[in-house]
Structure 1
Amino acid sequence: GHPADGPPAFLQALAGAGGLDLRGWRWALSAKGEYSSRKVLFFLYPPEGAAPEILVKLTRDPALNPRLENERRALDALWAAGVGDAATLPRVRFHGHHGGLAVVGESVVTGVPFRARTRWAADCPHAAAAVGWLVDLSARTADRAAVPPAEAAAVLRDLFARFVAIYRLPDAGRARLEAEIARIAAHPGPFPVVFQHGDPGTWNLLATADGRAAFLDWEAAEARGMPLWDVFYFLRSFAVGAARAGGEVDVLRGVETHFIRGSHLTAWLADGIRRARDAAGVPAALVPALFLTCWMHRALKEATRLPAAKVETGHYVGLLRLCLDRADDAGLQRVLGVGDAGRAAS
């Protein structure tokens, strides 16, 4: 029901169980789109407040409950670890289920969409803040001896087996990918894991009033995730945005320009990767393997969203093929710090 004094009764009950009294709070509802993957959103306003303080997410399909529940666990874990603050990271205020659907109430993080603030240039302070936040996340959460390299390689070999069951690769590209995974397996030192956002594109990012970065939507988070993958993903999305801002409509060509051929962004991309590598304790020699397997993993996720007839033309498999084909180009090797491979990251 809808009580006269506050939000719907089920929200008041869930909030009350979490120690929050919503009586007198105002509320608004957003239920855009017809896709079951789109969540129903409730915006909760305190009695005297002009802006919402709590955003409640409600799934539309019980099959999608695990994703929202994963976000709740991820946010709780980050707050427990002292990562982020009220200005940069949502905090879970209450959670539960209603009618078999997952419900999570989170504190509202205020800011302006990153894409509305960035200059799409290497000197953009908002881009620097985003990379810095991801680097700090790696530094704070890295477990540098958590996984034997052979175990990490086994996970990647499983992804590789799934990948080649769906996609076609030239023989040389397939051999290169297998060799890079074998390089991880043969590494004599430890292999680090980090807390991974899982979807840190420019669309999931706010620029706060004080110039910091706030990443949203933690449904794909991994508590023991692959190092560097978040930074690769953000930098790719930034490079694509910069290319589009410069008039380039071909997404892969934009990535090629900034990551391989060289541009005003290339040195900045290389610096971000180097900082993330050092923060997580990733050996320099393993960066190319992580770069290539990042796009392999993304292609697998993309395959679940594409019609069978379009799988082979997906963006991420195209990106992986491009990077495999140009893996020995000096430009890409500079971006990935291949020249540093003779020493371990400190």
Structure 2
Amino acid sequence: MTFFDQFLRDHYDEFALDQYGLGKRWDTLLLTPRFVTSRHVVALVFPFRRTEPALVVKVPRQPGDNSGVLREAAMLAQLSTVVRDSGAGVPRLVAVRDVGPYTVLVETALTGLPLDPRTVAADLPAAVAAGTEFVGALPCTQPAASNVEWYQRAVAAPLAALEELTGPDAHINEMVQQTHELLAPLRRSQLPAVIEHGDLSHPNLLVKSGGALQVMDWERSLTDGVPGHDLVFYLQYLSESSEQAFAREAQAAAFDKAFGEQGWAIDPLSRHLGTRGVDQDLLPLLVIATWARSTATMVDRLAQEAEVDPSQRNRKVRMALQSDRDFWLWRHVLNAA
């Protein structure tokens, strides 16, 4: 019996697990991603002799690294009604409990077909429509007029944390400085705060038979995100998938095809920004901000890894950055600018 099975048995009645189709027997499939930035071990819980999971249970890999599951739990509690009413899907929060130094998250499982690169390539327009509808349904949480410190919170602070984590590094310092210089007009602009998922790509995406997007893994989400961030991230994933671009140079070429001059992603992104009341002239700057901010999320994901071996902290972080797709795209958009 695994930790997950014992945990569910201990809380079976408290969580009313019978309402999710679980009897006294079930099957558990453990997922243990090996990426350096993967912070959790995940269990899919299947009702006995059923082929679709009913529950997902998450636990941090490192003791005390609970911020991701706590963030996801808080977001699911906030989003369950808003997004479900739109026809899109997010998991439903079942419970959050502490077991020693670990916080355990239990949520409902989403079902549907994976929106993987092959599915995207088979029908790119349908994938674009599903994603733009989903992102459009995510609510604004603060109007532009009162969101006065958004740049410091959403851009400057994360990049400063990235510089601190990497240690003295002339290349990173130069990229951060160039980013702030290019984003000066954006910094002076007023933008609303929005719900932001932060990682709209495979394997976090499923599609129902009617085409509605189902989105899981909200551990990188924010309630005070930046308009356009999720859609830029998502459309880049679609471009890479449709081009079968899996090497870094090919991914940069896929970016150019989507977001370069006359790029196909400009129109849906521009229309989305219009619905948020954002000046569409800011679109190129929001694209730059997306990849700088997405790279900076590695601070949270790598902090625990760095603490395990502080003597190798800076080297490990730099190595992780050099292999990260988002870092390559950040560097690419700066070079293009």
Partner of 2:151: 153
Checking the alignment, whether the CA contact within 8 Å between 1:197 and 1:221 is kept in structure 2 is yes
Unpaired segments of 5 or more residues in structure 2?
303-315
Secondary structure (helix, strand or coil) at the match of 2:289 reads: helix
Partner of residue 234, structure 2:
234
8 Å CA contact 1:192, 1:227 repeated in 2: yes
- Paired position in structure 1 for 2:180: 178
Structure 1 equivalent of residue 326 of structure 2: 316
- 1:105-155 C-alpha deviation (Å, 9 max, x unpaired): 222211111016624277531332122111221xx3353236444x12323
* Alignment partners' CA distance in 2, 1:162 and 1:282: 27
The 8 Å contact of residues 191 and 226 in structure 2, kept in 1 or not, is answered as: no
Letter of the 2:184 partner, please give it: A
- Residue 110 of structure 1 aligns with an amino acid whose one-letter code is T
User: Deviation of residue 201 (structure 1)?
Assistant: 1.5
Residue in 2 that maps onto 1:334 = none
Distance in 1 of aligned mates of 2:6 and 2:50: 21
1:77 Cα deviation from its structure 2 partner: 0.5
SS of the residue aligned with 1:256? helix
Match of 2:278 among 267, 279, 282: 282
- Equivalent positions of 1:166-245 (< 5 A) are 166=169, 168=171, 177-187=179-189, 190-244=190-244
Cα distance in 2, alignment partners of residues 44 and 122 from structure 1:
30
Partner of 2:11: 14
The residue identity in structure 2 corresponding to 1:79 is: S
Do 1:75 and 1:90's aligned partners in 2 also have CA atoms closer than 8 Å? yes
Contact preservation (8 Å) 2:228, 2:272: yes
Q: Which has the higher contact order (CA 8 A, sep 6+)?
A: 2
Aligned CA distance change for structure 1 residues 184 and 15 (closer, same or farther; 3 Å): farther
Partners of 2:54 and 2:217 lie apart in 1 by 17
SS of 2:203's equivalent? helix
Instruction: Tell me if structure 1 keeps the 8 A contact 2:245–2:254.
Output: no
2:62 is matched with 61
- 52 and 270 in structure 1: CA distance in 2 versus 1, 3 angstrom threshold: same
Higher mean displacement: 316-325 or 208-217: 316-325
- 8 Å contact 1:196–1:224 — kept in the other structure? yes
Q: TM-score, normalised by structure 1?
A: 0.75
Match of 1:93, SS? strand
The answer to whether the Cα contact below 8 Å between 1:68 and 1:104 also exists between their aligned partners in 2 is yes
Q: Which residue of 1 aligns with 2:307?
A: none
Q: What is the CA deviation profile of residues 3-27 of structure 1, one whole-angstrom value per residue up to 9, with x for unaligned ones?
A: xxxx845313334323444552423
Deviates more, 1:317-326 or 1:234-243: 317-326
Deviation by residue 1:249-292 (Cα, 9 ceiling, x = unmatched): 62212222332255xxx33x112211321232222233332221
Deviation, structure 1 residue 89: 1.5
Q: Name the amino acid aligned to 2:39.
A: S
Q: Deviations over 1:137-186 (max 9, x none)?
A: 1xx3353236444x123232334445566462797x77763344332343
After superposition, the Cα gap between the structure-2 partners of 1:321 and 1:73, relative to the gap in structure 1 and judged at 3 Å, is: same
Query: Counterpart of 1:134?
Result: 135
2:247 paired with 1:252 = no
Unaligned runs of 5+ in 1: 328-346
Q: Percent identity?
A: 21
CA distance in 1, matches of 2:178, 2:159: 12
What code does the residue aligned with 1:221 have? S
1:169 and 1:48, CA in 2 relative to 1: closer, same or farther beyond 3 A?
closer
Aligned CA RMSD, in angstroms, stands at: 3.5
Instruction: Write the distance in 2 (CA, Å) between the matches of 1:166 and 1:300.
Output: 15
Rounded Cα–Cα distance in structure 1 between residues aligned with 2:33 and 2:81: 34
1:67 Cα deviation after fit: 0.6
Shift in alpha-carbon separation, 1:246–1:124, aligned structure 2, 3 A: farther
Contact 1:157 1:181 in 2 (8 A): no
Residue 234 (structure 1) shift: 0.7
Check conservation: 1:88, 1:208, Cα contact below 8 A.
no
